[in-house]
Amino acid sequence: MISISIKQIAQLIDAEIEGNENVEINNICKIEEGCPGAISFLANPQYEPYIYDTKASAVIVSKTFQPKGELKNNPTLIRVDNPYQAFAQLLRLYQDFISEKKTGEESPVFKGENVQIGKNCYIGAFVYLGKNVRIEDNAKIYPHTYIGDNVTIGKNSVLYSGVKVYHDCKIGNHVTIHAGTVIGSDGFGFAPNQENVYSKIPQLGNVIIEDNVEIGANCTIDRATIGSTIIRKGVKLDNLIQIAHNVEIGENTVIASQSGVAGSTKIGKNCMIGGQVGIIGHLKIADGTKIAAQSGIGHNIEEPNTTLQGSPAFYVGDYQRSYVVFKKLPELYKKIQELSKKIS
């Protein structure tokens, strides 16, 4: 890392300084692994005990943070409204500084008819660009990526190695898609006849990914049967997620790893969905819904801003009270057997 003073860091993230503002910072670390010359942050109260022993030279903390004891190594405190956001901002600034400014076209690249590539783009080796593909300014397409016919890639978007985008899909601006993800594969549509032999239903739609979306590695987002599967602006998807045909995910919703959403379900905006959640098809999930990890959703969620847990899932307070009883079932069963013997 480059060397930068605490005073300069505070100016970048609009912070107040408590301590020596002239200390030079040349490293970023977790608070429990702090070392001289490093900066860390404290956002989760669970990690507060580490600040009293950390060897980090500076720690980003909340403006309301009050130490409950001695800070043994006397780190400079950088006070902000939201330490997590401020630390994330600092990491982004650092990433922008060190990241490769790749531009130009490597070889070999296959281009179909009427391919349009904007200014300052990067096209890696062994990329396939189908006919009528349009790649807008500052986009980066890493090696071994497949872009099918009639696909649009927006400005400043990044597709990492091995991404596959099938024909007719639309990807917005400032979108990041990590390695191995498939956009626009066929939805799971088959119709059985009287002999229970399945015939494939053609999947004629596409996938639309709006601006400022990030999609992790090895995800699959299926094209619509007709119409579009839509990922609205600001959505963040973790690795290993399955989004089925005709699903719509609302703005700024986040979904953790190994979750799956079945066909034609509509998820509202500002939802938070934990890992290994399963959602059946043709449902509506209200805005602001929070779903705990490993939950199963089999019914519409109509009330906004609720939290659910369990499989099948229900309101988290009811689930937690039920779980207290559930854990005691073996003990209760034993008592019932004893009482039954006495009664007999």
Q: Domains of the chain by range and CATH? A: 4-98 (3.40.1390.10), 104-320 (2.160.10.10)
C-alpha neighbours within 13 Å on the C-beta side of residue 84: 4
Which has more pLDDT, 208 or 332?
Answer: 208
Is the CB of residue 137 less than 8 Å from the CB of residue 173? Answer: no
Q: Does the CA dihedral 55-57-61-64 come out positive or negative?
A: positive
CA distances from 314 to 274, 282, 299, 318, 319 (A): 15, 18, 10, 7, 6
Confidence of residue 36 (pLDDT cuts 50, 70, 90): very high
% of the chain exceeding 90 in pLDDT: 85
Tokens of 240: 């290993």
pLDDT of residue 313: 74
Give the residue numbers marked as catalytic. Answer: 245
Mean pLDDT over residues 219-227, rounded? 97
Mean pLDDT over residues 243-256, rounded? 98
Closest residue by Cα to residue 297 from 327, 259, 325, 245? 259
Measured CA to CA, the distance from residue 86 to residue 101 in angstroms comes to 24
Measured CA to CA, the distance from residue 331 to residue 343 in angstroms comes to 19
Bridge partner list, 195: none
Least confident window among 72-81, 100-109, 232-241, 334-343:
334-343
Is the CB of residue 297 less than 8 Å from the CB of residue 279? Answer: yes
Bridge partner list, 275: none
Mean pLDDT of the chain: 94
pLDDT of residue 1: 58
Question: First CA to last CA across the chain, in angstroms?
Answer: 77
> What letter would DSSP give residue 163?
-
Tokens of 280: 């059946």
User: Residue 156: left if φ>0, alpha if ψ -120 to 50, beta else—which one?
Assistant: left
Three-state DSSP class for residue 84 = helix
Confidence of residue 227 (pLDDT cuts 50, 70, 90): very high
pLDDT surpasses 70 at 219: yes
Measured CA to CA, the distance from residue 204 to residue 222 in angstroms comes to 11
Least confident window among 91-105, 200-214, 234-248:
91-105
pLDDT of residue 223: 98
